[in-house]
Amino acid sequence: EAGVVQSPRYKIIEKKQPVAFWCNPISGHNTLYWYLQNLGQGPELLIRYENEEAVDDSQLPKDRFSAERLKGVDSTLKIQPAELGDSAVYLCASSYTSWGSKSSYEQYFGPGTRLTVT
Protein backbone atom coordinates (compact mmCIF):
# COMPACT_ATOMS: atom_id res chain seq x y z
CA GLU A 1 0.00 0.00 0.00
CA ALA A 2 1.38 3.39 -0.97
CA GLY A 3 2.04 5.83 1.84
CA VAL A 4 1.42 9.55 1.96
CA VAL A 5 3.02 11.19 -1.06
CA GLN A 6 4.34 14.73 -1.01
CA SER A 7 6.00 16.85 -3.66
CA PRO A 8 8.32 18.49 -4.14
CA ARG A 9 10.73 17.08 -1.56
CA TYR A 10 12.84 20.20 -1.58
CA LYS A 11 12.17 23.77 -2.65
CA ILE A 12 14.40 26.84 -2.60
CA ILE A 13 12.83 30.20 -3.37
CA GLU A 14 13.57 33.86 -2.84
CA LYS A 15 11.53 35.80 -0.35
CA LYS A 16 8.31 37.36 -1.63
CA GLN A 17 7.91 34.55 -4.18
CA PRO A 18 4.93 32.15 -4.09
CA VAL A 19 5.30 28.44 -3.42
CA ALA A 20 2.95 25.47 -3.39
CA PHE A 21 3.17 22.02 -1.84
CA TRP A 22 1.14 18.99 -2.87
CA CYS A 23 -0.01 16.00 -0.84
CA ASN A 24 -1.74 12.77 -1.79
CA PRO A 25 -2.97 10.88 1.29
CA ILE A 26 -3.26 7.15 1.81
CA SER A 27 -6.18 5.74 -0.15
CA GLY A 28 -9.37 5.69 1.92
CA HIS A 29 -8.14 8.19 4.50
CA ASN A 30 -10.78 10.88 4.94
CA THR A 31 -8.83 13.17 7.27
CA LEU A 32 -5.81 15.12 6.06
CA TYR A 33 -3.45 17.30 8.09
CA TRP A 34 -0.76 19.82 7.26
CA TYR A 35 1.96 20.32 9.86
CA LEU A 36 4.93 22.66 10.01
CA GLN A 37 8.17 21.45 11.57
CA ASN A 38 10.95 23.86 12.40
CA LEU A 39 14.50 22.59 12.78
CA GLY A 40 14.93 20.63 15.99
CA GLN A 41 11.26 20.93 16.94
CA GLY A 42 8.19 18.76 16.85
CA PRO A 43 5.53 19.25 14.16
CA GLU A 44 2.84 21.88 14.71
CA LEU A 45 -0.62 21.56 13.18
CA LEU A 46 -1.50 24.14 10.52
CA ILE A 47 -4.80 22.84 9.18
CA ARG A 48 -7.00 19.75 9.30
CA TYR A 49 -9.44 18.59 6.66
CA GLU A 50 -12.34 16.21 7.07
CA ASN A 51 -12.99 15.18 3.48
CA GLU A 52 -13.03 18.49 1.58
CA GLU A 53 -13.92 20.68 4.57
CA ALA A 54 -11.28 22.58 6.54
CA VAL A 55 -12.48 22.00 10.11
CA ASP A 56 -9.50 23.42 12.01
CA ASP A 57 -7.40 26.18 10.46
CA SER A 58 -6.89 28.20 13.63
CA GLN A 59 -3.09 27.94 13.40
CA LEU A 60 -2.86 28.77 9.70
CA PRO A 61 -1.45 32.30 9.04
CA LYS A 62 -4.24 33.29 6.71
CA ASP A 63 -2.62 36.49 5.48
CA ARG A 64 -0.14 34.51 3.43
CA PHE A 65 -1.04 30.82 3.71
CA SER A 66 -3.91 29.05 1.97
CA ALA A 67 -4.87 25.45 1.48
CA GLU A 68 -7.43 23.46 -0.45
CA ARG A 69 -8.67 19.92 -0.77
CA LEU A 70 -11.23 20.32 -3.50
CA LYS A 71 -12.28 16.71 -4.12
CA GLY A 72 -11.58 15.44 -0.64
CA VAL A 73 -8.50 13.51 -1.72
CA ASP A 74 -5.25 15.32 -2.48
CA SER A 75 -4.45 18.74 -1.08
CA THR A 76 -2.35 21.80 -1.86
CA LEU A 77 -0.78 24.20 0.62
CA LYS A 78 0.29 27.59 -0.73
CA ILE A 79 2.37 30.45 0.63
CA GLN A 80 2.23 33.84 -1.03
CA PRO A 81 4.41 35.75 -0.52
CA ALA A 82 7.03 33.64 1.27
CA GLU A 83 9.10 35.15 4.09
CA LEU A 84 12.48 34.11 5.46
CA GLY A 85 10.80 32.73 8.59
CA ASP A 86 8.78 30.28 6.52
CA SER A 87 11.85 28.12 6.00
CA ALA A 88 10.88 24.78 7.54
CA VAL A 89 9.66 21.29 6.69
CA TYR A 90 6.01 21.05 5.72
CA LEU A 91 4.53 17.66 6.59
CA CYS A 92 1.31 16.15 5.37
CA ALA A 93 -0.42 13.37 7.29
CA SER A 94 -3.61 11.39 6.84
CA SER A 95 -5.84 9.16 8.92
CA TYR A 96 -9.18 7.40 8.76
CA THR A 97 -11.81 8.88 11.05
CA SER A 98 -14.91 6.95 11.95
CA TRP A 99 -17.54 9.60 12.55
CA GLY A 100 -20.03 7.14 13.94
CA SER A 101 -17.76 6.29 16.84
CA LYS A 102 -16.09 9.73 16.77
CA SER A 103 -12.69 8.12 16.81
CA SER A 104 -9.74 8.38 14.52
CA TYR A 105 -7.05 5.89 13.82
CA GLU A 106 -3.37 6.70 13.77
CA GLN A 107 -1.94 9.42 11.58
CA TYR A 108 0.57 8.51 8.91
CA PHE A 109 3.04 11.08 7.69
CA GLY A 110 4.59 11.80 4.34
CA PRO A 111 8.32 12.55 3.93
CA GLY A 112 7.72 16.30 3.98
CA THR A 113 8.76 19.21 1.79
CA ARG A 114 11.82 21.09 2.98
CA LEU A 115 11.38 24.78 2.11
CA THR A 116 14.28 27.20 2.12
CA VAL A 117 13.51 30.88 1.63
CA THR A 118 16.54 33.04 0.76
In this complex, which beta carbon is closest to another protein, that of residue 27 or of residue 101? 101
Cα-to-chain-centroid distance, residue 7: 11
By CB under 8 A, the count of residues binding another protein is 29
Distance CA 27, CA 104 (A): 15
Q: Taking the complex as a whole, how short is the minimal distance between the CB of residue 101 and another protein, in angstroms?
A: 8
Q: Which of 67, 76, 63, 86 is nearest to 12 (CA)?
A: 86
Query: Among residue numbers 36 through 55, which ones bind another protein (CB under 8 A)?
Result: 40-45, 48, 50
Q: Taking the complex as a whole, how short is the minimal distance between the CB of residue 32 and another protein, in angstroms?
A: 11
Q: Taking the complex as a whole, how short is the minimal distance between the CB of residue 81 and another protein, in angstroms?
A: 26
Q: Taking the complex as a whole, how short is the minimal distance between the CB of residue 54 and another protein, in angstroms?
A: 12
List of residues contacting another protein (CB under 8 A): 4, 31, 33, 40-45, 48, 50, 56, 91, 93, 95, 97, 101-112, 114
